[in-house]
A and B are shown apart, each in its own frame.
Chain A
């Protein structure tokens, strides 16, 4: 984790002008050209499929089949309308928005309170409880999939959004607690002590002093959790089987991708995918630095 304290986007600063002697410069020029070649190649490999998806979302099915590389003849927004309405991507989009809002809020509340206690209070069993949480980082979700299905069903939460919100939050706790405990520990203790001396209660101290101070850490984890909940497929696939009016966006897209194989409506699928990519792209571009630090720290658990 040592290297991750700094934001990932600013690895090396300078493109300062080279002022070396001439032969050195020519050699650099070749190397520079080569490295740009490789870098551009991978950049193209990353961007092209996404660009292709975006362009195809405006094409007619005939155009897509005839010429995968051609530009759309017109901006056909009816593809988008069809994906949003007929394929119910709009509904799934809103479903996901509701569930993810709930689950991120719950995760942050539970994660922040637990992490705060672990970071700032001494009590018996603290280590044990902390490692119980953090141990969850080790195991992939799908090992617990079968029993989880029954736990949720027996709790009467099968096929409900409440169940999904609780499960999302539960599986996000290990990372959230781990990250925020470390973050709360970095905050200065003197302010908290001063507040307590001034007669501030422990609860007020947390909500009025500590939470605002922890904002940068909270934002990073919240974005991390937002992305992982928004992209989650396995849990809703198992816990929201059946009633497709309640589905999450990822389920809807998977179903659309499979049905496209029979129906042959490529344009609708591409439009659906584009609709799903746009919010993620926006969040990514706006919070790029937090996303990169959050995710890199998140996977170095």
Chain B
């Protein structure tokens, strides 16, 4: 049965591997090399400058400002998204009447899940464009509501004090549905007998959630946190399209900095790659940190 095996392995593996190495592996490796040059892009000249780009980064106030915003996103987006996700997932799988079965889902749960999940399949571009209009000071959805109540609404994205928070809210809005479905799926794997036993013992819903559900879902929550943290460190498309970092850099994020540095008015590719490298290590350390801090004894079901 051996014959014909080698040709198959070669024809099946070499093209994908080639494609992958050329377009994925090599750019990642080159990013490190380019970050140590003063390359200005289209000209061929790229002089090695060692760590000068990184030193310049350290003193770049715009980068620090952007990093500060990313840090806020990192602190708040995962917390809100996971809290909402857990809350609605609990409602859906346990909010129903208690019959003999002990714990039941709410009526129409599948419908809610379908609706909640939908923003997840939309392009970020559509979400950004839609919310940009919804925040519009005169023709927008939000100020339309406020006008009915008789309040003249704020400028939302036009105001440096609110712009960043508006983008943050959209980020949470776009993500919650996905985690409702994710946590819902994980909850359905928890044996029902556990809940029945807890309810017989007279535990309240809140106790059940905090003492039973969340500990049993811990692995999933951890993964969710990592994924959201990585998304919070990015946030590039949403910010670029909704505010382009403005007004007055109030909603700037590191991704926008990098994109503008590389493809904006000046094409400082060396410097932009340095930002990319810093991002790479930040992302990596956040993920590792989340795994470390979140480590708990694993609870095996059944």
**Chain A residues positioned under 8 Å from B113 (CB to CB):** 8-9, 11, 292
Within 8 A of A (CB), among B91-122: 91-101, 103-107, 109-110, 112-122
Residues on A with C-beta less than 8 A from B189 are: 2-3, 6
A151 to B22, CA, bound (A): 8
Decide if B182 touches A296 in the complex (CB within 8 Å). Answer: yes
- Are B121 and A39 interface neighbours, CB within 8 A? no
Shortest distance between the CB of A252 and any CB in chain B (Å):
9
A169 to B91, CA, bound (A): 39
For the complex formed, measure the closest distance between the CB of B272 and the CB atoms of chain A, giving whole angstroms: 5
> Please, what's the 1-or-0 string for B6-34, where 1 marks a CB less than 8 Å from any CB in chain A?
01110111011101101111111011001
How far is it, in angstroms, between the C-alpha of A4 and the C-alpha of B187 when the chains are bound?
10
Q: What is the total of A-B residue contacts with beta carbons within 8 Å?
A: 324
CB distance B91 to A38 under 8 Å?
yes
* A127 interface residue per 8 A CB criterion: no
Overall SS of chain A's interface: helix
Within the assembled complex, what's the spacing in Å between the Cα atoms of A50 and B177?
15
Chain B residues with CB below 8 A from A266, complex form? 133, 139
Instruction: Check if B24 sits within 8 Å of A136, measured CB to CB.
Output: yes
Near B by CB (< 8 A), chain A positions 24-56 give 24-25, 28-29, 31-32, 35-36, 38-39, 42-43, 45-50, 52-53
Does B13 contact A117, Cβ atoms closer than 8 Å?
A: yes
Contact of B133 among A11, A155, A269 (CB under 8 A): A269
- How far is the CB of A184 from the nearest CB of chain B, in Å? 12
Separation of A82 and B8 alpha carbons in the complex (Å) = 52
Helix, strand, loop or mixed for chain B's interface? Answer: helix
Assuming the contacts A39-B92, A270-B133, asked whether A11 and B107 have C-beta atoms less than 8 A apart, the reply is no
A138-181 vs B, Cβ < 8 Å mask (1 yes, 0 no) = 11101111111111100100000000001101110110010000
A140 and B283 in contact, given A3-B220, A257-B128 (Cβ under 8 angstroms): yes
Our pick among B91, B121, B185, B234 for the contact of A35 (Cβ within 8 Å) is B91
Closest to A252 in B: B125
A129 CA to B24 CA, complexed, in Å: 14
Q: CB < 8 Å: which of A12, A69, A227, A233 contacts B237? A: A233
A280–B121 Cα distance when bound, in Å, is 7
Interface residues of B, Cβ cutoff 8 Å to A: 1, 4-5, 7-9, 11-13, 15-17, 19-20, 22-28, 30-31, 34, 84, 87-88, 91-101, 103-107, 109-110, 112-126, 128-134, 138-141, 143-145, 148, 173, 176-178, 181-182, 184-189, 205, 219-220, 223, 227, 230, 234, 236-237, 241, 255, 258-259, 262-263, 269, 272-273, 276-277, 279-280, 283-284, 287, 301
